[in-house]
Amino acid sequence: MSADSPSWSSETQSQTSKLIEKSKESPFVPIGMTGFAAIVGLGLYKLRTRKDTKMSVHLIHTRVAAQACVVGAMTFGVLYSMYKEYVVKPKETNLSK
């Protein structure tokens, strides 16, 4: 199967459209993914200039920072969805009555 076949491109497009659709539903997922990638990239860049720090300590700090970014994005995402569900929706139902 070549890369130019229609099934491959339609499969990729459907996955891309699913990702875009999910991003619109919960915008903090791509923010968490981007933050994770940025922190890992920064950690790899700083790996060269770590001076006297042990490799294991540097990797642990990088891992903790990346996890904190993802957990923070998940927390804000849950808070945002709760805000939409419990604060915005009741106001809309009261306005429609």
The answer to whether residue 89 sits within a structural domain is yes
In-domain check, residue 3: no
Handedness of CA 58, 61, 64, 68 (dihedral sign): negative
Mean pLDDT, residues 25-30 taken together: 78
Domain count, the chain: 1
Give pLDDT tens digits for 54-78.
Answer: 888 888 988 999 899 889 988 988 8
Copy the structure tokens of residue 50. 């770590």
Q: Is 66 part of a structural domain of the chain?
A: yes
**Chain mean pLDDT for the chain:** 81
pLDDT at 64: 92
Residue 57 falls within a domain, yes or no? Answer: yes
Provide the sign of the torsion angle of the four alpha carbons 90, 78, 22, 20, taken in this order. positive
**What angle do the packed helices 6-25 and 28-47 form, to 10 degrees?**
100
Q: Is 1 inside any structural domain?
A: no
The CA distances from residue 35 to 50, 57, 88, in Å, are: 21, 21, 28
Q: Is 49 exposed, middle or buried (0-12, 13-18, 19+ CB in 10 A)?
A: exposed
* Averaged pLDDT for residues 26-37: 82
Q: Quick check: is 33 in a domain?
A: yes
- Domain coverage including residue 35: 27-96
In a domain, 20, yes or no: no
14 falls within a domain: no
